[in-house]
Structure 1
Amino acid sequence: MACIHILSAFLYWWAWHDRTWRDVIMIPEYLNHLEAGLYLWSALWYSREDTLGGYYTLAVHKIELAAALVEILASFGWIMSWYMTYIRTLGRGFSLDDPDTISYLSTSISSIIYVIYNIQINIYPEQYGTNFLYTYGDIVYFVGACYYIIAALRDDHWFWFLPFAGQYGVAVGRIHVDTRSLPQFGVPRVLITDLCCRKRKDTTIKVNNQREFDNGNSIVTTYL
């Protein structure tokens, strides 16, 4: 399963092959790879677990807690990616009518459940094997995965027979809706390095403004 997770992370990353690796929407994909690597690490140590308080057992719990924390960061990162790239049109928005909305909400909720479960296991190791809170996370995650499949089919126009054609646009000739002109994508592309450059630029402007203020308010006294 850990290997499949790594493969899934790679496919998610490859889906953005038209984007530069420095794009901010790639951050959750990098976090997803890190999470998959942590789960693979913990899976390799499963065979070494002996007692509930053993070294490898506790180490596995800590590694999986770290993976769960990384996963929740990636989940919120995917919400950011969706907001920055989704197309504004009918059937694709912030409502539950959009399968993408249910998908990322399900992923985020399941991530929170996994974090709570791993915290409980780290505090009470004796609950390992009897605490089944993670099963609720699995169920919610599965529901989100199903909606991701529906969203992917919608994006590839598999639902052309529906009234709105299951597409971003309105089926031609079936219904007429007056809509205003909307942008194709959410926001312009932002690079990771742009954030640093913007911070440096803002700092430079503040320093220059401070110097101008100091020069304008300085008093020069000349002794003759």
Structure 2
Amino acid sequence: LAVVNIIIAALYVWTWRDRSWFDVVLIPEYLNHIQAGLYLWSALLYSKQDTLGGYYTMAVHRIELSASCVELCTAVGWMLTWYIAYTRTLGRGFTLDDPDTIAYMTTTSNTLIYFVYNIQINLRPEEYGSNMLYAYADVLGFIGSVYYIFGTLRDDNWFWFLPVAGQYGVAVGRIEVVTKQLPKYGLPPIVITDICKHRRKTNASSDSSTTPDSELTNF
């Protein structure tokens, strides 16, 4: 499983292949490689564990504590990456209607619970095997992965058969609303101010034409 974790981390980096290696959005992916490597290291030491407080047992606990800490930073970094690089449109945003929102919330909660669990195991090694806090983290991780699958299928337009109200299959450029051009009848529209101005000029010219010459000379 640790090897699979490293492969998944490499695939995450590959998804950002159009960006620079020094792009800020790749920082969580590099951290993901570090935590995957730490978990692989701890997995290689599992066979050497003997007693609860033994050297290799405590080494595994410390390595996994470090890995869970890096994993928590990775999850927070993914949230920031989502905020920076995510395309927001109808059905894709900050609400719980968006599967990506639920996915990163459950993933972050999952890593936080793992971090707390590893702290407890390092402080009280005798609880290893009886402390079941990690089970809640596993459940949240599974829920988050399912929602990530939904979000990925949505982005790849797999839910094209659902209506727009279903909030799926809606992305930039996916849906084009064609407006109808209604037929035009009658005269073209006339701005009222033009008529008023024309009427004022007409009235002024008519008044000047009816003014007696005597009044003009007296003025």
One-letter amino acid of the counterpart of residue 10, structure 1: A
Match of 1:39 in 2: 39
User: How many residue pairs align between the two structures?
Assistant: 175
Cα distance between partner residues in 2 of 1:2 and 1:151: 25
Cα distance between partner residues in 1 of 2:15 and 2:133: 32
* 2:157 equivalent to 1:157: yes
Q: Is the 8 A contact 1:163 1:171 kept in 2?
A: no
- Which stretches of structure 1, 4 residues or more, deviate above 6 A after TM superposition? none
Cα distance between partner residues in 2 of 1:93 and 1:75: 18
What per-residue deviation string (whole Å, max 9, x for no partner) do you get for residues 72-115 of structure 1? 00001001110111112100000001111011101100000000
Cα distance between partner residues in 1 of 2:154 and 2:15: 16
* 2:113 equivalent to 1:113: yes
One-letter amino acid of the counterpart of residue 170, structure 2: Q
Match of 2:192 in 1: none
TM-score (norm. length: structure 2)? 0.77
Q: Tell which has more relative contact order, 1 or 2 (C-alpha 8 A, sep 6+).
A: 1
Cα distance between partner residues in 1 of 2:41 and 2:114: 17
Match of 1:48 in 2: 48
Q: Is the 8 A contact 2:89 2:170 kept in 1?
A: no
TM-score (norm. length: structure 1)? 0.75
One-letter amino acid of the counterpart of residue 167, structure 1: V
Aligned-residue CA RMSD in angstroms? 1.6
Match of 2:14 in 1: 14
Match of 1:68 in 2: 68
What per-residue deviation string (whole Å, max 9, x for no partner) do you get for residues 152-180 of structure 1? 00010001111125221574569xxxxxx
What per-residue deviation string (whole Å, max 9, x for no partner) do you get for residues 3-55 of structure 1? 01001100111110111110000000000000000000000000000000000
Match of 1:167 in 2: 170
Q: Matched residues, percent identical? A: 58
Match of 1:143 in 2: 143
Q: Is the 8 A contact 1:159 1:167 kept in 2?
A: no
